[in-house]
Amino acid sequence: TDRKKLHTAPVGQVFRLRPFHVLVATGGGYAGYRKYEDYKLEQLEKRGIEVPVKLASEWEVALYKSVPTRLLSRAWGRLNQVELPTWLRKPVYSLYIWTFGVNMKEAAVEDLHHYRNLSEFFRRKLKPQVRPVCCMHSVISPSDGKILNFGQVKNCEVEQVKGVTYSLESFLGPHISTEEMHFSQAPPGNSFQQQLVTKEGNELYHCVIYLAPGDYHCFHSPTDWTVSHRRHFPGSLMSVNPGVARWIKELFCHNERVVLTGGWKHGFFSLTAVGATNVGSIRIYFDQDLHTNSPSYSKGSYNDFSFISNNKEGIPMRKGEHLGEFNLGSTIVLIFEAPKDFKFNLKAGQKIRFGEALGSL
């Protein structure tokens, strides 16, 4: 009589699955499978074996998008801001350093106990002069990372990796008005690419740099230029590692991104910071009104902000000057106008560090 009664729920109630749970489980499992496939591709690349392009189908992209990466990224961001006990900081950061090959000797503060949370550790600063800015070349790397692709823009298409392209207009959005850009605009009948080129004899060039989790997470101005406009595209936060970039066409057009446009001595210049999984926070130092990875957004929407109307001369940036930061790692895309004799000093797949030359005339 003293025994406690055990109350059990009906079997059907215990095993009842809700659509959200099925979606998360299926999408998460598939994302894990893709990670394994990416790992195999990386191993083949290291052995010098060329990997054939195999694009994802529409249902595969839809399945990947079903994973609540935006929600997970916000949760990860909050977790990163939780202050760690002093005794736990060194073990946690040491594990991250070992996993992603972080070089702490370059950090301004090498003592791991100094960083109160993961967010501070991710956004660590470098020692002065550890990244000397190249003065001999007109365009430098804005960040540490890996060169995914570079070259001339052709037929309004840009390569995110070799053999996989995306639409220039979908990526940058509608052409900005002449008043905001401060230089001449081509006739409306011309293609989107031709409208960006403002000087006769110039070409449009692009460069894609992937920032791995172990890289320095700040990015800088790649040249002397003036930022006149910011366009923020809310969107998905899918992974942008080279394996996924090779698999999903127009990946950069799906993901959240911040497009900064303006001009340099040769005409049009733009820098785009592309968000990714766990990189819901993109910060631009001079733009306090920018808020990325908000809980709600309309698919395909974007919002514009002009620095010309608020600051008549725009925002002048010097080569190497601090521009912004990610909260983990992601991708920087440069699209700019230059004379036909502009040459890149790069190789696809090479590692590069902030301050090193991208190319020059």
CA–CA distance, 57 with 81 (Å, rounded to integer) = 37
Q: Is 220 a catalytic residue?
A: yes
Largest CA distance in the chain: 96
Strands 164-167 and 225-233: unpaired
Q: Which two tokens stand for residue 139?
A: 């365009």
Catalytic residue among 144, 215, 229, 232: 144
Q: What one-letter code names the amino acid at 25?
A: A
- In degrees rounded to 5, what are phi and psi of residue 252? -65, -25
| Tokens of residue 258, six digits | 């911040």
Which contacts qualify for 175-179: CB closer than 8 Å, 24 or more apart? 176/229, 176/231, 176/261, 176/304, 179/308
Closest of 151, 156, 154 to residue 191, by C-alpha: 156
Residue tagged active-site, from 220, 229, 254, 266: 220
Active-site residue flag, 232 = no
Q: Which residues pair with 338 in a beta bridge?
A: 203
Give, for 162, the enclosing helix (H) or strand (E).
none
Distances (CA, A) of 338 to 100, 198, 204, 276, 341: 36, 10, 6, 29, 8
Number of H-type helices and E-type strands within the chain: 12, 17
Q: Is 304 a catalytic residue?
A: no
Q: How far apart are CA 20 and CA 26, in angstroms?
A: 10
SS3 (DSSP) at 187: coil
* Catalytic center residues: 144, 220, 330
